[in-house]
Amino acid sequence: MVGVASIYAPVQEELAQVEEALQAIKRVDFAELSEMLDHVLAPGGKMLRPSIALLAGKFSNNHQEMLVPLAASIELLHTATLVHDDVIDRASTRRGRPTANSLFDNSASVMLGDYMFAHAAGLAARTGNLEAMRMFSRTLLAMASGELEQDMTAYDYSQTTRHYFQRIASKTASLFAAAAEGGAIVSAASDAWRAALRDYGENVGMAFQIVDDILDFSGDEAEMGKPVGSDLMQGTLTLPSLLVMEGHPRDNPVKRFFRHRHSPRHLAEAVDMVLSSGVLDECYRVAGGFRDRAHAALEGLPAGAARESLAEIADYVLERRA
């Protein structure tokens, strides 16, 4: 599998500037806030979304200096949503590190997320591009709607795969789409390239979330930084569990666990059925279809290092193990 460092080669310098912009946010006079920001903005993330924004801006030579604040706003928006997600899920760790809400109280963590949302909007405004700011607003609205739907339908086993795809399109794929389209908007790319890049980003985002949901069952707990079956514990139906329910409508441990939410035995039975049923292979095929559509979206864009890196990101999303 190609490493992300080599994939990001065409935008390595700009990525360093994005990291500098994120680290600058920590420099505040309020010591407690600085400590919280220092924790949640620690370097070391995959930086997939800002890299997509930077690469998408390479197809046009216009306004290149505005790509860094755009990419930083995308990454900060993503990180802020994770802070809020951890509060909602009562998560104690993420990627093997303590969450903000486990170190600080929930109310402070919610306000920290709000502070980061506001800062992300400020970074988007620094592009001076009204359409980019509108896109930022639309994306935040879509993500919030997807998260609300997920929270309001927890432990509801009447959901279908159609509901699932709609939900992940909002909560996850919308930000990938915004990253790709945002790079095109800020660099004043043509309408055709902008549409192609949005299509690319949305399909990469769909594949990313499906693989994330697969790894929730099959990933290594140490690498993932969370226990196997975390989504089910939170009452969230994902593609693997939905396919198991479709294949075993009468005798289904997922439904039994949702009826008895605090039963470790029913949870273990549900995880075992997902792992033994073959649905994870089907999920990878579905994710592969989205990856293929992302590749197809790139075909109308100029060949070169940026397009090659975007294609490699689509492949990496499918191959990753954490």
The CATH number that applies at residue 27 is 1.10.600.10
Residue 43: pLDDT band by 50, 70, 90 thresholds? confident
Our count of domains for the chain comes to 1
Q: What is the pLDDT of residues 47-63, one digit of tens each?
A: 999 999 999 999 998 88
In the prediction, which pLDDT does 2 show?
A: 55
Question: What does the alpha-carbon distance between residue 174 and residue 181 come to, in Å, rounded to a whole number?
Answer: 10
Percent of the chain with pLDDT over 70: 99
Question: What does the alpha-carbon distance between residue 26 and residue 88 come to, in Å, rounded to a whole number?
Answer: 24
The mean pLDDT of 123-128, rounded to a whole number, is: 96
The mean pLDDT of 80-84, rounded to a whole number, is: 95
Can you spell out the DSSP letters for 43-77?
S----HHHHHHHHHGGGS-TTGGGHHHHHHHHHHH
Name residue, tokens 């697969």: 214
The mean pLDDT of 19-44, rounded to a whole number, is: 93
Record the pTM: 0.96
Task: Give the tokens for residue 178.
Answer: 């915004």
Quote the domain boundaries for residue 213: 4-319
Q: What is the pLDDT of residues 214-253, one digit of tens each?
A: 999 998 887 777 789 999 999 999 999 999 999 988 878 9
Three-class DSSP category at 169 = helix
Task: Give the tokens for residue 307.
Answer: 């397009």
Q: Are 308 and 295 in contact (CB under 8 A)?
A: no
What residues are paired with 31 via a beta bridge?
none
Tell me what the pLDDT averaged over the chain comes to: 94
Task: Give the tokens for residue 58.
Answer: 């390479």
Beta carbons within 10 angstroms of residue 191's beta carbon = 8
